[in-house]
Amino acid sequence: MAKVLLVNGSPHENGCVSTAMDEIISTLNQNGIETEKLWLGVKPMADCIACGQCQKNGRCVFDDEVNKIAAKLDEYDGIIVGSPVYYGGPNGRLTSFMDRLFFSVPKSRFSGKFGAAIVSCRRGGSTAAFERLNQYFLMENMHVVASQYWNQVHGSNAEQVRQDEEGMQTMRTLAANMAFLIHAKQKALESGLEQPVYEKSVFTNFIR
């Protein structure tokens, strides 16, 4: 069965982001997609220190959730990440996790997977945070899944998020689109359609 990983970057395990993710999970499950939800917790998450050891050893020097997910990455057909909005951006714990995961894992293991980001805020800053998180998927040959609006919910707590009818509907639409695309890809591959073959990456340096 196809599977989607949902990474909750909020310090509140059952807060606004989790509430939005539960709506996504329900719709994915209804459409035959298995889900796994990871809460990053409240302990400090190490930043990438650009030591380059992951390029030599194949794993991050900080042995935490990053390496655990990297080891299981091939199980997932899609990845959804969620964050509260802090000063117009996603929170540091999630971006530290994403920086290290996406840098330490070869691009080929992300290529062709489906990605989506969701954000939660009381009032503003959601689109800037949403755009920031989508950059990870866009640089790794992943397919970014859209919804009927930007993937955002509004409220100061979980109960208020549940009252955001448009936001919750946006979560369900996102999940339905991701489920459809995952199933469509599976059927295409089963019919003999081959995935794209990519050229070797070219790096152009602007200072020589």
Q: DSSP string covering 27-85, please?
A: HHHHTT-EEEEEE--SS--PPP----HHHHHSS-SS-SHHHHHHHHGGG-SEEEEEEEE
Q: What are phi and psi of 38, to 5 degrees?
A: -115, 120
Q: How is domain 3-40+47-156 classified at the CATH fold level?
A: Rossmann fold (3.40.50)
**Tokens 């936001």 sit on residue:** 167
Amino acid identity for residue 86 in this structure: Y
Q: What is the pLDDT of residue 154?
A: 98
Cα 162 to Cα 16: distance, rounded to the nearest angstrom: 9
pLDDT in tens, the chain (208 residues): 999 999 999 999 999 999 999 999 999 999 999 999 999 999 999 999 999 999 999 999 999 999 999 999 999 999 999 999 999 999 999 999 999 999 999 999 999 999 999 999 999 999 999 999 999 999 999 999 999 999 999 999 999 999 999 999 999 999 999 999 999 999 999 999 999 999 998 989 988 7
Beta strands in the chain (DSSP E): 3-8, 34-39, 78-86, 89-90, 114-121, 143-144, 152-154
Which pLDDT value is given to residue 207?
85
Write down the domain spans for the chain.
3-40+47-156
Q: How far is it, in rounded angstroms, from Cα 46 to Cα 64?
A: 9
- Please choose, from the candidates 48, 46, 53, 24, the residue with its C-alpha nearest in 3D space to the C-alpha of residue 36: 24
End-to-end CA distance of the chain: 49
d(CA 204, CA 169): 43
